[in-house]
Amino acid sequence: MNSHFATAMSRALEQTRAGNPAEAARIIQAALAGKDRQPDEMARPAQAPAGSGGDPLAHIEEAEVVEEQPPRQSPPPFGASPGKGGAHALQTGQVDLQRMLDNLDCMVPQGSNGLPGLGRVNARPHVPEGALYETRSFDSEHGSRDYRLFVPSNRPGGPKGLVLMLHGCTQDPDDFARGTDMNRHAEQSGLIVVYPHQSRAHNAQGCWNWFRPEDQRAEAGEAALLGALARAVAAEFSVSPDAIFAAGLSAGGAMTATLAATHPSLFAAVGIHSGLPHGIARDMPSAFGAMRGQGGRAPGKTRGAVRMIVFHGMADATVHPSNAEALVAAAGHALSGTSRREQGRSKGGRAYSRDLVEAGDGTPLVESWRIEGAGHAWSGGRVEGSYTDPAGPDASAEMVRFFLHGRQ
């Protein structure tokens, strides 16, 4: 997708959200036809939304649910039915314009500045001298996946733990490692990191299938596969059974919530960024509803107590912030302690509130970070990766601190 077309989609999305679907349709029709009323308009940046810092596409977000269909060589005609062009579908009213634009969002890889494309495509993530970062494959009765493995250079007394990191839609392990900068934190803390790769062969946009019942079970599907992967790598490196953790962004965050629910004896703690509760969706319609904060199924309860740290941007237009509250509510029934709230501001200027539930000995049981002005992006991430917000508090550092409480 070229920059001119992406700019047109941004303008159309602005018009839709402003309540002008007819103008949005006109912009898209003109873009599909390669023309517009003003030929030079497409070459000019669209007017930036308030609070976006001047980035013309800063409001475009990732969509975490896509049609279950085989990968295509090029994007589909924006939700048109087979054999019908996008413009025709718009003219006949057969396309839900907002949903079409939401699906478009997940087709546009973005850097932290909101513009199409990554700043450093295929760039190698940071790997400290002496550390290991390699590609591996894992096969099990539940399926197989490739994954990246990070092993820190210095591990006196063995690794302090293992973190399973689950990327979001349109991302891959290298992109996720760059954006979260988790390798650097893992090197400092002696952690092994496993980055599974959800390929387009398993989901058209590389999303973990968090909304499918067959992938929400401990005994089968993707949840079982990921649990088996974490267990196998932990055994290989003699990681303590009570030091296995998981974290994820968006679709990866939703799958992390499922792992906490289905494998409470395996994962000691989890970190969920911009995600959704386990079991809140059982199909695509309920998934879209949950993403937009429009109810859906009651979140599934965990089988046991898994400590949880949650991050969510309060300006997230892809996964509604109410999902963060639902995550905490779903976990809180099994984790009781003393509650308190703190407020602060990150070095980058983001105001945030942090709700904490602590055990009597001070162990953090639940933390919920609500970040004002942040969208659908990893808080405190680096610009080298997609879906990052460098201005926010460092989610990677806080997750590591939360995971390793009492171990460092």
More confident residue, 245 or 13: 245
Q: What is the pLDDT of residue 26?
A: 66
75 and 197 co-located in one domain: no
- pTM of the shown model: 0.74
- 241 and 346 assigned to the same domain: yes
Lowest mean pLDDT among 77-86, 112-121, 137-146: 77-86
* Residues 188-210 pLDDT 10s: 999 999 999 999 999 999 999 99
Residue 259 lies in a domain: yes
Evaluate whether residue 309 is within a structural domain. Answer: yes
Mean pLDDT score, 169-185: 97
Residue 119 lies in a domain: no
Q: What is the pLDDT of residues 328-377, one digit of tens each?
A: 888 765 566 778 899 999 999 999 999 998 888 889 999 999 999 999 99
Are β-strands 244-249 and 307-313 bridged in parallel, bridged antiparallel, or unpaired? unpaired
What are φ and ψ of residue 267, in 5° steps? -95, 125
Residues 233 and 145 in one domain: yes
β-partners of residue 16 are none
How large is the average pLDDT for residues 243-251? 98
Q: Is residue 150 part of a domain?
A: yes
Comparing C-alpha atoms, which of 339, 267, 277, 272 is closest to residue 305?
A: 267
How many domains does the structure of the chain reveal?
A: 2
pLDDT bin (cut points 50, 70, 90) of residue 24 is low
Which residues lie below 8 Å from residue 128, measured CB to CB, with a gap of 6+? 152, 153, 183, 184, 187
The 10s digit of each residue's pLDDT in 33-75 is 654 433 232 222 233 333 334 333 233 234 454 433 333 332 2
Q: Are residues 172 and 252 in the same domain?
A: yes
Same domain, 388 and 330: yes
- In this predicted structure, the answer to whether residue 13 has a pLDDT above a threshold of 80 is no
Does residue 11 have a pLDDT over 80? no
Q: What is the pLDDT of residue 74?
A: 28
Query: Average per-residue pLDDT in the chain?
Result: 78
| Residue-range definition of the domain harbouring residue 86 | 3-105
